[in-house]
Copies of this chain bind each other. A is one copy, B any other.
Amino acid sequence: MDYVNVRYTDKKPKLSNPILIEGLPGIGNVGKLAVEHLIESIKAIKFAELHCKDFPPQVFINIDGTIELVNNEFYFWKSKKKNQRDLVLLTGDYQGLSSQGQYELVEKILDIIEGLGVKEIYTLGGYGLGHEIENPRVLCATTDKNLVKIMKKHGAVFKKNEPGGGIVGASGLLLGLGKLRGFYGACLMGETPGYLVDPKSAKAVLNIIMKLTNIEINLSALEKKAKEIENIAHQLKEIEGLGKEKSEELKYIG
């Protein structure tokens, strides 16, 4: 096995001018949620797996009791209409654990999608605010100036100095290393408190992907998940609230 190993589980798809959409684990799991939901909604087909020596040495257990080595997965989808484009989709269990692992992994991903004819990349992620947000905006950064205008048209937001720390991980590196190799594209970052997985933020990101790709995505499953998470967050807040009152009381006493 190479440091990063690609294994085709289906034959390599023949695609016409496809776009890559990436969503790996990260803040609020926004990117991963969005891409997983997209894959399910459009019934994209898995064709390859990546394993990497910089992933944790771990297997997950399926419902039927069988194991699965942690990985990243590639899916594809063929366009149905004239105004649509073929898609390559990337999601997975982990990002590389180390800096070097991240660079190696992204280089391999770029090799693979280059071989599939991809030139355009959209990476999805979360932008952690550390506080709650009613209507999450979707921040954006692009490889090229002319893409800024297009992304704004689709509802993405550009704010000077946001995110101030740049973009860390595969979502940033795919664009950064990709740009050096002639790829272009954008990163969409849904605002999120960042405490819990955030389907609401994932939905906001997918709304822009819909406009960008002219693909209808059924968002009802994400909306249902978002309500469940809202309930959990509410309950956690109540428990916390009780704790605070108590500790305030204690402050008066002690």
Q: A residues near B, CB below 8 A? A: 1, 3, 7, 51, 53-61, 63-70, 96-97, 99-104, 106-107, 140-145, 148, 158, 160, 162-163, 165-170, 172-173, 175-177, 179-180, 187
Residues of chain B contacted by A97 (CB below 8 angstroms): 99
Give A63 to B159 CA distance when docked, in angstroms: 9
Query: Which residue of chain B has the shortest Cβ distance to A94 in the bound complex?
Result: B99
> What 5 additional pairs, Cβ within 8 angstroms, besides A65-B142, A69-B173?
A57-B170, A57-B172, A58-B167, A68-B176, A97-B99
Smallest CB separation, A158 vs chain B (Å): 4
CA distance A30 to B92 in the complex (A): 31
The copy count of this chain in the complex is 4
CB-based contact B180/A148 at 8 Å: no
Q: Are A67 and B173 in contact (CB under 8 A)?
A: no
**Chain A interface, DSSP helix/strand/loop, else mixed:** mixed
| Contact B69 A143, beta carbon cutoff 8 Å | no
A64-B148, A103-B1, A107-B1 known; A179+B57 contact, CB < 8 A: no
With A99-B97, A141-B61, A166-B61 as known contacts, state yes or no: A176 contacts B53, CB within 8 Å.
no
Taking CB atoms, residues of chain B closer than 8 Å to A106 are 57
10 cross-chain pairs, A with B, having the tightest CB-CB distances, nearest first? A69-B176, A57-B102, A59-B176, A59-B172, A53-B103, A60-B166, A65-B158, A65-B148, A53-B100, A57-B173
Complex: how many Å from CA A99 to CA B56?
6
Residues of chain B within 8 A (CB-CB) of A141 are 59, 61, 65-67
Closest to A105 in B: B57
Q: A55-B99, A58-B168, A173-B57 are in contact. Are A7 and B67 (CB under 8 A)?
A: no
Q: Is there contact, CB below 8 Å, between B66 and A145?
A: yes
